[in-house]
């Protein structure tokens, strides 16, 4: 048992790899491929710039977003395998993939921090492609189990790694705009859900159902492999706008030990490598790779240095076991359950409750996807504006965002039954799109919130672990809503509108839990790092419990 515990402790430990001189030199350029013997194949046509990672992250997530278009495949697969369009078996592939996405992200988050985003995305893209190939072969042999195994398990595994890899990288490269970086890192997921839904049916017509999986798997995995070539973590001593990856104001010479470690690899001395604005004791100047974020970046973070320095020293285990992470988990869960249920039911609600056409149902779903994408992109940007303009403590700014999204959802949940009973379709669309904006905003903001709270070296593991809330909400919430709705409508013979309304009641409870959990998240560093559990309001402690062993 002790050996198992030691193994688990080692796994849940973040030990970022020290970069070799050869790696630092190769990563001065955008495209570099690691090879055996610490060698790198490098194209020197384009020099690296951190802004290129925005594009690479968006494209990777764009391909991952194809998961949310799976419903397009349900009817063709059921018809192809069971000769019955209403068999209802293909949809379980989506639930399996969602479950694997969250669990894989949780289990491999620490591994990602130890091996870097390039290795993570290479592994994820390989699994994604293999899963599509297995699914294509299984469809050719009319095996639903093979589709579950291929797309659900193997591709779902790859999706989990590729979802968190670019997020982890961007949080390290953009300490000056973590919300914006998080938004772009996951915003592509929402955009992909819109576009791929328009691609699946034409691909089926062009290549057949099995062939469409092979074709699309190759296309999407090729894009993700290409993005993996661009991914990397910052070099030793990286800082932007006067702050390092931890948000701590950079002090010259502070990271020299990291550079010395890199210089001593294989006993080689390097005269000029890419490490921004750091000067060694021997006078060697390291070429800067990043742009200066400006005076406002330094000022926005200068007021909160004590908190950032304490966060920098937190271990991964202490973060996972902290009360704040516990509350953040349920905060996110409460923020996404309603959105996940609506995403899966929006078209049937439009046609069944409001009497709209199938084309209108498809249109409202597409527009809803656009709001999901916009929420992921722009809501986290708003949190950065709060930090820059009002110099708020960054974790508190993210907390304000979640307070807004959760309260907005509460208002929607209270008013939606009346709107549905009155069959006010225009107001229904407005509220659902606003809901989806909040839903996407939660996903876009949570990576920056986690990084602010627990540090840049723990984001991969914590983001991966908190995504299990997504899996539980998607699988448990989706199945629970479906079973309850079917019982109310088909067994109890309750009118369609009332079946939806009565099924919303339990969602109200989960959202209330999210609001309560939000207030439990402590963003004040004095509270977080005080002995015992301390909670203050307006700087005055109102609750103190026990000894704080986590920090």
Q: Is the pLDDT of residue 549 over 70?
A: no
**9-23, 61-75, 254-268, 509-523 — which is least confidently predicted?**
254-268
Distances (CA, A) of 252 to 152, 249, 433: 49, 10, 48
Q: What is the pLDDT of residue 263?
A: 40
Which pLDDT band, with edges at 50, 70 and 90, does 319 fall under? very high
Determine contact, residues 340/474, Cβ cutoff 8 Å.
yes
Taking residues 240-247, report their average pLDDT.
89
DSSP state of 83: S
Rounded Cα–Cα distance for residues 391 and 295 (Å): 12
Which pLDDT band, with edges at 50, 70 and 90, does 30 fall under? very high
Q: What is the pLDDT of residue 272?
A: 37
The pLDDT > 70 percentage for the chain reads 89
Q: What is the pLDDT of residue 496?
A: 92
Q: Is 524 helix (H, G, I), strand (E, B) or coil?
A: coil
Taking residues 145-170, report their average pLDDT.
97
Rounded Cα–Cα distance for residues 53 and 47 (Å): 13
Q: Is the pLDDT of residue 409 over 60?
A: yes
Q: What is the pLDDT of residue 298?
A: 56
Determine contact, residues 456/308, Cβ cutoff 8 Å.
no
Rounded Cα–Cα distance for residues 243 and 241 (Å): 6
Residue ranges of alpha helices (H) inside 247-357 are 256-263, 295-302, 305-312, 316-320, 323-352
Taking residues 448-462, report their average pLDDT.
96
Q: Is the pLDDT of residue 111 over 80?
A: yes
Domains, the chain, with CATH or none: 50-234 (1.20.1250.20), 306-545 (1.20.1250.20)
Rounded Cα–Cα distance for residues 333 and 346 (Å): 20
DSSP state of 248: P
Average pLDDT, the chain: 88
Q: Is 46 helix (H, G, I), strand (E, B) or coil?
A: strand
Which pLDDT band, with edges at 50, 70 and 90, does 301 fall under? low
Q: What is the pLDDT of residue 325?
A: 97
Q: What is the pLDDT of residue 259?
A: 44
Taking residues 65-86, report their average pLDDT.
91
Which helix or strand (DSSP H or E) is residue 545 part of?
strand 540-545
Rounded Cα–Cα distance for residues 491 and 189 (Å): 37
Which pLDDT band, with edges at 50, 70 and 90, does 172 fall under? very high
Rounded Cα–Cα distance for residues 499 and 336 (Å): 21
**43-47, 105-109, 381-385, 503-507 — which is least confidently predicted?**
503-507
- Full DSSP string of 268-285: ---SS-B-TT-B-TT-PB
Q: What is the pLDDT of residue 295?
A: 55
Closest CA relative to residue 301, chosen from 254, 239, 256: 239
Q: What is the pLDDT of residue 279?
A: 34
Percentage helix, strand, coil for the chain under 3-state DSSP, each rounded to 5: 70, 5, 20
Which helix or strand (DSSP H or E) is residue 71 part of?
helix 71-82
Rounded Cα–Cα distance for residues 214 and 437 (Å): 33
Q: Is the pLDDT of residue 253 over 70?
A: no
Longest dimension (CA), the chain: 82
How buried is 271 (Cβ within 10 angstroms: 0-12 exposed, 13-18 middle, 19+ buried)? exposed
**82-96, 206-220, 320-334 — which is least confidently predicted?**
82-96
Which pLDDT band, with edges at 50, 70 and 90, does 547 fall under? low
Closest CA relative to residue 61, chosen from 160, 178, 174: 160
pLDDT in tens, 173-213: 999 999 999 999 899 998 998 899 889 999 999 999 999 99
Handedness of CA 403, 406, 409, 415 (dihedral sign): negative
Q: What is the pLDDT of residue 156?
A: 97
Q: What is the pLDDT of residue 8?
A: 78
Q: Which residues contact 182 (CB under 8 A, 6 or more apart)?
A: 167, 170, 171, 380, 444, 445, 446, 447, 448, 451
Rounded Cα–Cα distance for residues 151 and 141 (Å): 15
Q: What is the pLDDT of residue 432?
A: 95
* Structural tokens at position 210: 């099995």
Q: Is the pLDDT of residue 273 over 50?
A: no
Rounded Cα–Cα distance for residues 238 and 50 (Å): 11
pLDDT in tens, 463-484: 999 999 998 988 888 788 888 8
Distances (CA, A) of 213 to 84, 101, 130, 200, 380: 20, 19, 11, 9, 34
Burial annotation 377-404 (CB, 10 A radius, 16+ → b, else e): bbbbbbbbebbbeebbbbbbbbbebbee
Output Rg (C-alpha) for the chain, integer angstroms: 24
**66-70, 249-253, 309-313, 373-377 — which is least confidently predicted?**
249-253
Please state the length of the chain.
551
Taking residues 65-94, report their average pLDDT.
91
Q: Is the pLDDT of residue 165 over 50?
A: yes
Q: Is the pLDDT of residue 265 over 50?
A: no
Q: What is the pLDDT of residue 264?
A: 42
User: Which position has the token pair 């920098």?
Assistant: 312
Q: What is the pLDDT of residue 246?
A: 92
Handedness of CA 18, 20, 25, 29 (dihedral sign): negative
Rounded Cα–Cα distance for residues 115 and 117 (Å): 7
β-bridge partners, 34: 40
β-bridge partners, 540: 537
Rounded Cα–Cα distance for residues 99 and 96 (Å): 5
Rounded Cα–Cα distance for residues 43 and 33 (Å): 9
**Pairing verdict, β 540-545 and 29-35:** unpaired
Which pLDDT band, with edges at 50, 70 and 90, does 241 fall under? confident
Q: Is the pLDDT of residue 159 over 90?
A: yes
Q: What is the pLDDT of residue 404?
A: 98
Q: Which residues contact 379 (CB under 8 A, 6 or more apart)?
A: 183, 401, 405, 437, 438, 440, 441, 442, 444, 445
Taking residues 109-115, report their average pLDDT.
94
Comparing 79 with 547, the larger pLDDT belongs to: 79
Q: What is the pLDDT of residue 284?
A: 33
DSSP state of 226: H
Comparing 55 with 485, the larger pLDDT belongs to: 55
How buried is 223 (Cβ within 10 angstroms: 0-12 exposed, 13-18 middle, 19+ buried)? middle
Determine contact, residues 96/153, Cβ cutoff 8 Å.
yes
Distances (CA, A) of 459 to 108, 111, 409, 486: 12, 12, 27, 40
């Amino acid at each position: 048992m002790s050996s198992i515990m030691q193994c688990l402790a080692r796994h849940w430990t973040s030990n970022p790899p020290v970069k070799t001189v050869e790696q630092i030199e190769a990563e001065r350029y955008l495209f570099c491929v690691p090879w055996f013997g610490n060698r790198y194949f490098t194209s020197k046509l384009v020099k690296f710039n951190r802004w290129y990672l925005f594009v690479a992250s968006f494209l990777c997530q764009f391909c991952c977003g194809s998961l949310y278009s799976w419903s397009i495949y349900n009817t063709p697969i059921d018809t192809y395998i069971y000769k019955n369009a209403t068999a209802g078996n293909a949809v379980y592939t989506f639930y399996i993939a969602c479950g694997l996405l969250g669990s894989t992200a949780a289990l491999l988050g620490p591994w990602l921090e130890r091996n870097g985003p390039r290795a993570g995305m290479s592994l994820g893209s390989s699994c994604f492609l293999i899963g599509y190939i297995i699914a294509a072969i299984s469809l050719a042999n009319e095996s639903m189990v093979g589709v579950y195994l291929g797309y659900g398990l193997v591709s779902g595994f790859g999706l989990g790694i590729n979802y968190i890899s670019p997020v982890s990288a961007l949080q390290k490269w953009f300490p000056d705009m973590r919300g914006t970086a998080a938004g772009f890192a996951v915003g592509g997921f929402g955009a992909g859900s819109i576009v791929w839904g328009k691609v699946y049916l034409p691909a089926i017509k062009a290549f057949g159902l099995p062939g469409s999986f092979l074709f699309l798997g190759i296309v999407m995995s090729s894009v993700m492999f290409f993005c993996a070539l661009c991914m990397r973590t910052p070099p030793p001593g990286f800082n932007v706008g006067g702050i390092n990856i931890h948000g701590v104001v950079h002090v010259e010479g502070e990271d020299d030990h990291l550079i010395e470690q890199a210089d001593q690899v294989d006993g080689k001395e390097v005269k000029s490598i890419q490490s921004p604005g750091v000067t060694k004791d021997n006078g060697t100047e390291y070429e800067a790779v990043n742009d200066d974020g400006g005076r406002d970046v330094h000022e926005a973070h200068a007021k909160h240095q004590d908190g950032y320095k304490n966060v920098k020293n937190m271990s991964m285990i202490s973060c996972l076991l902290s009360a704040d992470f516990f509350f953040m988990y349920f905060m996110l869960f409460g923020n996404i359950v309603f959105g996940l249920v609506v995403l899966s039911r929006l078209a049937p609600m439009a046609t069944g409750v409001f009497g709209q056409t199938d084309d209108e149902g498809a249109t409202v779903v597409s527009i809803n996807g656009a709001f999901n994408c916009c929420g992921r992109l722009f809501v986290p940007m708003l949190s950065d504006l709060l930090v820059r303009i009002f110099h708020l403590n960054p974790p508190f700014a993210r907390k304000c965002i979640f307070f807004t999204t959760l309260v907005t959802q509460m208002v929607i949940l209270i008013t939606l039954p009346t709107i549905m009973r009155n069959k006010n379709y225009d107001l229904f669309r407005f509220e659902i799109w606003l809901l989806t904006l909040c839903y996407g905003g939660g996903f876009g903001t949570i990576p920056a919130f986690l990084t602010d709270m627990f540090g840049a070296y723990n984001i991969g593991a914590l983001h991966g672990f908190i995504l299990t809330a997504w899996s539980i909400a998607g699988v448990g919430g989706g199945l629970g809503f479906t079973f309850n709705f079917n019982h109310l409508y088909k067994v109890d013979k309750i009118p369609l509108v009332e079946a939806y309304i009565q099924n919303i009641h339990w969602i109200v409870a989960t959202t209330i839990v999210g609001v309560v959990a939000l207030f439990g998240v402590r963003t004040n560093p004095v509270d977080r790092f005080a002995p015992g559990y301390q909670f203050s309001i307006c700087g005055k402690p109102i609750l103190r419990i026990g000894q704080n062993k986590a920090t």
